[in-house]
Amino acid sequence: MIKVTIAIAVYNVEKYVEKCIDSVLNQDFSDYEVLVVDDRGKDNSINLIEKMAQSHPNGEKIRIIHHEKNLGTGGVRNTCIDEARGEYLYFMDGDDYLAPNSIRLLYEAMIANNADIVIGNHQRIFPDGRIDYNSNYKQGKCVSEYAIAEWIRKNNIVYYHVATWNKLFRTSLLRDNGVRCVPWHRQEDIYFALQTAFAIKSVVTIPDITYYWVQVQGSCMNQDTTEWHLNQYLDIFDKSMA
């Protein structure tokens, strides 16, 4: 079995996707696949990835799945859970990129601690290279019935970043617990995080920056909050209580 699936959501990211894929194919870790999910964008992103699959020395690691229609990020995450061939699963978005040692550091921490999830730090960065902020998780481990909640309490975490990316998951944990995202929902990360919070029994954090979160103008993360967005939050709470 492949050790790690790096699963990438791709939708209209042609300005950034080559840097993303290049950072993945140049990891100092060899036993992984690159699962690209094409969510039916209207630009040249997938063509660029196909060219890289042909030209890059590690291009054979790329496997592309094409959605029949656009399902949004939540639908992409579900496809990744279903289709991953790796023992461990790592999500990322097609406009972000990795440090060269990201997967190795996360995988080594996973194996050393027999964890359900390993979380690295991330840097929020603008396309011109300006840094907005760095997350600041310390080296740590928590084993508990509700490990995520206990880790947050013990470490006085004021803000737990619920994004699915930059977390290495045990793939079987997601499948055995039926963890899913809601297709075409802006808050798919929150729903996902609530489900995994009940399933995860061991969490490990490492201090290294392993993920670069690029702030793309006009992305869903840079939109003003409206009544529609608030209703999306309420819908997530309803689904979580069902």
Residue-level pLDDT at 158: 80
Q: Mean pLDDT score of the chain, rounded to an integer?
A: 91
pLDDT at 236: 53
75 vs 182: CA distance, rounded Å: 7
Mean pLDDT, range 182-204, rounded to an integer: 86
Average pLDDT over residues 56-85: 96
pLDDT of residue 51: 98
Q: What is the pLDDT of residue 191?
A: 86
pLDDT confidence tier of residue 77, bands split at 50, 70 and 90: very high
According to the model, what pLDDT value does residue 187 have? 67
215-235 pLDDT, tens digit per residue, is 987 554 444 556 655 555 455
d(CA 179, CA 171): 10
Cα–Cα distance for residue pair 133/88, rounded to 1 Å: 28
Q: What pLDDT shows up at residue 85?
A: 98
Cα-based torsion angle of the residue sequence 171, 141, 107, 79 in order, rounded to the nearest 10 degrees: 30
Give 109-158 pLDDT, tens digit per residue: 999 999 999 999 999 999 998 999 999 999 999 999 999 999 999 988 88
For residue 94, give every residue at least 6 positions away whose Cβ sits within 8 Å of its Cβ, in sequence order, or none: 8, 9, 10, 11, 13, 16, 17, 20, 36, 45
Beta strands in the chain (DSSP E): 2-10, 32-38, 62-66, 86-93, 97-98, 117-125, 131-134, 140-143, 167-170, 202-214
Average pLDDT over residues 93-104: 98
Sequence-separated contacts (24+) of 134-137 with Cβ below 8 Å: 134/209, 135/161, 137/205, 137/206, 137/207
Q: How far is CA 60 from CA 32, 52, 56, 145, 196, in A?
A: 11, 9, 8, 40, 32
* C-alpha–C-alpha distance, residues 175 and 170, integer Å: 9
C-alpha 94/C-alpha 8 separation (Å) is 6
Give backbone dihedrals phi and psi of 93, rounded to 5 degrees, phi first.
Answer: -100, 155
